[in-house]
Structure 1
Amino acid sequence: MKIALNDVKKQLGQVERLVLRAFESSMYLVQVKLIQGEELLNVCDDQGTILRFNSQLDAKLPFKGLGITDTVLVHESPYNEMIGMPAATKPEPLQVKLSNPDDDYS
């Protein structure tokens, strides 16, 4: 499911988790988990296009001032078979705790 960035900004104090999904070539997609929701929502613009960012700092900037207290970076590698792992074996994605948007100096 999707949620518009403007709708996220109206959810002051209601964003439980901010998830930055890292992809190759410095592309980041952002998902949010709202306190009253069960699933992660992809953040999009007002036309429904998923937002893409070039850095984790750029991805967190629109969420400053929302009081987010849990921010993580998630990276899944699609190249497991290139390093000798069976294609059917999918390891858990790498998850790294990041500073929250309000704590960044950007």
Structure 2
Amino acid sequence: MELSKLEKFFVIDKLIIHSLEMSLYQVSVEVDGEEYYVTDNKGNFLKAFSILELQRQCSKLKVEKQVLRHQSAYDEMVGGPQKTSSNQLEVPLIDQGYY
């Protein structure tokens, strides 16, 4: 969903900043129980090497709460038992406006 559309029409239940790899972050939002990845006007996923940069880009959104989400691939090491549950971690964030 485009950032400009989200800024105009929606109240966002949750802004999710995904921690990917090597300090790369990507944004999705939860609206009415559905999760959408956020894009710019050209259709490119919104991403940055800084959480603060993504908070700056999303500062005009009407957000109820923000979280940092991380899923680790390292719990499936060679020889270890197969995991049946998610190891997803969500940490609450607050936009302090430090950008």
Structure 1 residue aligned with 2:87: 92
Query: How does 1:19-30 map onto structure 2 within 5 Å?
Result: 19-30=16-27
TM-score (norm 2): 0.83
Name the structure where helix makes up a greater proportion of residues. 1
Q: How many residues align?
A: 99
Contact 2:27 2:54 in 1 (8 A): yes
**Normalised by the size of structure 1, how large is the TM-score?**
0.79
| Percent identity between the two aligned chains | 30
From 13, 17, 20, the equivalent of 2:14 is 17
Look up the match of 1:61. Answer: 56
Q: Which runs of 5+ in 2 are unaligned?
A: none
Greater alpha carbon shift after TM alignment, 60-69 vs 15-24:
60-69
Large movers: runs of 4+ above 6 Å: none
Query: C-alpha root-mean-square deviation of aligned residues, in Å?
Result: 2.0
